[in-house]
């Protein structure tokens, strides 16, 4: 079975060589690497061309004007010929056995099964990586149950940790090119609602490079927060098609509540909209978000009062 590794690239000249070496260094040999240069201006394109010349049978390069990561990813999917899809950011790394171990795990079982593995944080050297204390690093008997774990416990899966059959990718549809943030979370919600099970492979690993300060600040703009809230509305739309239950609505309420927690006190119109979406779910049960201390404060003072105290403390 061929695996297509899709790597969108925009101005990652400092990191792309290391990322490509991790992709080319896979112990699983039946791979193709789809590089989509998204209008880079920092010399990334020249690096990518050199790899195509060196590995013409394994690396395909598509060059386009800058259109954003979702468009670049969609173009990569269209060009991919593999039965399985591996997404990889241009500054992240995967361990040499990642794909091989996951293919072994998925061999002989339903194509509606997704494989995951552990992902860890690093800055410059993967030897100095830090583990993420999440409960997602295990099997789930449905993709929906993994989504509920994300939303109830404020956890996530780094997209490169998945290995997904092409049929699930196609059924989910393209990445949403209108979103400017959380495109991966919204896309994999559509993938996971159709997954029969999620299997955790304990040996492979993804190394997620911690974003720089400029990336973080950009993700806090009003435009980004509006897009983030829209991605959460997409969560609601997709998951309620599969199961409209109290447990799902409680988890969705926590998603909107976490949005308010993260945004407050900025962008009052967006907060008001999130609160309206929370109310429309019709969940009477009190829900709590944030860290343990904040949750305890919320139980005593109420969510909004706890936010005001948090703001004052600063």
Is residue 117 helix, strand or coil? strand
> How much is the average pLDDT of 95-122?
97
Q: State residue 299's pLDDT score.
A: 93
Q: State residue 160's pLDDT score.
A: 98
Check pLDDT > 70 for residue 29. yes
* CB under 8 A, 24+ apart: contacts of 241-247: 241/193, 242/144, 242/193, 243/144, 246/283, 246/285, 247/148
Specify whether the backbone of 125 is left (phi greater than 0), alpha (psi in -120 to 50) or beta: beta
What domains are there in the chain, each with its CATH number? 3-210 (3.90.550.10), 213-284 (no CATH)
Q: State residue 269's pLDDT score.
A: 98
Share of the chain above pLDDT 70, in %: 97
Mean pLDDT of the chain: 95
Q: State residue 217's pLDDT score.
A: 42
Check pLDDT > 50 for residue 272. yes
> How much is the average pLDDT of 174-186?
97
Check pLDDT > 50 for residue 168. yes
Q: State residue 314's pLDDT score.
A: 65
Check pLDDT > 80 for residue 214. no
Q: State residue 18's pLDDT score.
A: 97
Check pLDDT > 50 for residue 275. yes
Q: State residue 310's pLDDT score.
A: 84
Q: State residue 49's pLDDT score.
A: 98
Check pLDDT > 90 for residue 90. yes
Check pLDDT > 70 for residue 74. yes
Q: What is the CB neighbour count within 10 angstroms for residue 59?
A: 22
Q: State residue 210's pLDDT score.
A: 87
Q: How far is CA 49 from CA 13, 17, 46, 171, in A?
A: 12, 12, 5, 32
Q: State residue 220's pLDDT score.
A: 84
Check pLDDT > 90 for residue 312. no
8 Å CB contact between 53 and 25:
no
Share of the chain above pLDDT 90, in %: 93
Check pLDDT > 50 for residue 216. no
């Amino acid at each position: 079975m061929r695996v297509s590794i899709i790597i969108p690239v925009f101005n990652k000249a400092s990191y792309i060589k290391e990322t490509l070496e991790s992709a080319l260094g896979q112990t699983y040999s039946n791979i193709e690497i789809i590089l989509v240069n998204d209008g880079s201006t920092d010399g990334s394109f020249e690096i990518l061309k050199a790899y195509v010349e060196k590995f013409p049978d394994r690396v395909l390069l598509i060059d386009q004007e800058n259109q954003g990561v979702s468009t670049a990813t969609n173009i990569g999917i269209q060009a991919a010929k593999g039965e399985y899809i591996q997404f990889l950011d241009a500054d992240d790394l995967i361990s040499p056995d990642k794909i091989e171990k996951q293919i072994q795990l998925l061999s002989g079982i339903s194509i509606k099964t997704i494989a995951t593995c552990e992902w860890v944080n690093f800055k410059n050297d993967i030897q100095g990586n830090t583990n993420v204390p999440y409960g997602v690093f295990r099997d789930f008997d449905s993709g929906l149950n993994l989504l509920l774990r994300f939303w109830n416990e404020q956890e996530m899966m780094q997209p490169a940790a998945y290995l997904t059959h092409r049929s699930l990718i196609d059924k989910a549809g393209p990445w949403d090119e209108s979103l400017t943030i959380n495109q991966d979370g919204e896309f994999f919600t559509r993938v996971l609602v159709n997954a029969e099970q999620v299997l955790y492979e304990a040996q492979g690993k993804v190394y997620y490079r911690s974003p720089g300060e400029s990336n973080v600040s950009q993700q806090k703009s009003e435009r980004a927060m509006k897009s983030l809230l829209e991605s959460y509305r997409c969560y609601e739309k997709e998951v309620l098609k599969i199961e409209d239950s109290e447990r799902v609505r409680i988890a969705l309420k926590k998603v909107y509540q976490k949005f308010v927690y993260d945004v407050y006190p900025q962008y009052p119109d967006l907060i008001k909209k999130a609160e309206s979406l929370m109310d429309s779910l019709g969940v009477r049960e009190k829900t709590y978000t944030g860290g343990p201390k904040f949750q305890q404060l919320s139980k005593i003072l109420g969510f909004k009062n706890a936010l005001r105290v948090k703001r004052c403390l600063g």
